[in-house]
């Protein structure tokens, strides 16, 4: 089987707490459950414990972007203590009731060692897709808004090169990732990570021009370590 390089890893991000800010990483181990330490914690809304979507997210609380989780022992992420820097500057353990109280009446936190994912454990986005969408909306958008795990700077000049990778396997460092489908977007993309302000034109443009899709979802074929700068190769 031959492999063709299609890009390089420009950034790696994990989200220790679902819907809070991400952590930039230089390297990370990837298992069947995605990036080590990714989305292992999540907050549940009161009265929705048995619903299909009980999670408290940026859709309901845009200011969750301003809560910044980190792992105290990044070398052992799935066993590490998780702390959250609040917008007010307090550093709280993720399980501290004071943190849940800030997020709403009756809100509580859970831990899921397999990760709390809306769909698949890996999300990938190209820098070219962010640039192309920015041109469509007429404003410079940061890639953080779209919450990828893997940001790839592709070699292609196409605006959305990752669309062509669906159905293929990508070799990224030691990892082999299958690109399963395009990532259908929701209202979370309307929220600016820096200001927490909403701009509904973002999702409208993605819906109009991209059938509401931006980036791709994937699953793990072979576990392994990935680092910023690693080549991304498509296996033919």
Please determine, for residue 236, whether its predicted confidence score (pLDDT) is greater than 70: no
In order, the DSSP letters of 93-156 are ETT-HHHHHHH-TT-EEEE-TT---SS-SEEEEEHHHHHHHHHHHTS---GGGG--SEEEEES-
pLDDT class of 1 with cuts at 50, 70, 90: low
| CA pair distance 8, 229, nearest whole angstrom | 6
pLDDT tens digit sequence for 111-140: 988 888 888 999 999 999 999 999 999 999
In 3D space, the residue among 201, 191, 203 whose CA is nearest the CA of residue 64 turns out to be: 191
E strand or H helix that includes residue 182? strand 175-184
* Averaged confidence pLDDT in the chain: 94
Query: Quick one: average pLDDT of 89-102?
Result: 96
Query: Quick one: average pLDDT of 191-218?
Result: 97
User: Percent of the chain, pLDDT > 70?
Assistant: 99
Q: What is the pTM of this model?
A: 0.93
Structural domain of 125? 3-235
Query: Quick one: average pLDDT of 48-65?
Result: 90
| CA pair distance 113, 121, nearest whole angstrom | 12
3-state secondary structure of 209: helix
Compute the residue count for the chain.
236
| Count of structural domains within the chain | 1
CATH (domain of 90): 2.40.33.20
Q: What is the dihedral of CA 27, 29, 30, 31, to 10 degrees?
A: -170
47 or 91, greater pLDDT: 91
């Amino acid at each position: 089987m031959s492999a063709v390089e299609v890009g390089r890893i420009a950034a790696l991000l994990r989200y220790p707490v679902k819907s809070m800010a991400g952590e930039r990483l230089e390297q990370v181990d990837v298992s069947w459950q995605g990036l080590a330490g990714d989305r292992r914690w999540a907050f549940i809304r009161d009265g929705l414990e048995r619903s299909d979507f009980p999670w408290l997210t940026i859709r309901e609380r845009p200011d969750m972007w301003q809560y910044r989780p980190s792992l105290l022992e990044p070398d052992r992420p799935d066993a590490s203590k998780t702390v959250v820097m609040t917008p007010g500057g307090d550093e709280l353990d993720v399980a501290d009731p004071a943190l849940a109280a800030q997020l709403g009446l009756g809100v509580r936190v859970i831990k899921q060692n397999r990760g709390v994912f809306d769909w698949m454990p890996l999300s990938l986005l190209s820098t070219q897709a962010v640039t192309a969408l920015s041109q469509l909306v007429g404003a410079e958008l940061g890639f953080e808004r779209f919450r990828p795990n893997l940001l790839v700077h592709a070699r292609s000049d196409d605006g959305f090169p990752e669309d062509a990778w669906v159905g293929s396997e990508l070799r990224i460092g030691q990892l082999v990732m299958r690109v399963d489908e395009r990532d259908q977007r929701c209202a979370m993309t309307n929220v600016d990570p820096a200001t927490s302000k909403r701009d509904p034109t973002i999702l409208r443009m993605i819906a109009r021009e991209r059938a509401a899709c931006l980036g791709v979802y994937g699953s793990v074929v072979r576990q392994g370590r990935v680092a910023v700068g690693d080549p991304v190769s498509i296996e033919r």
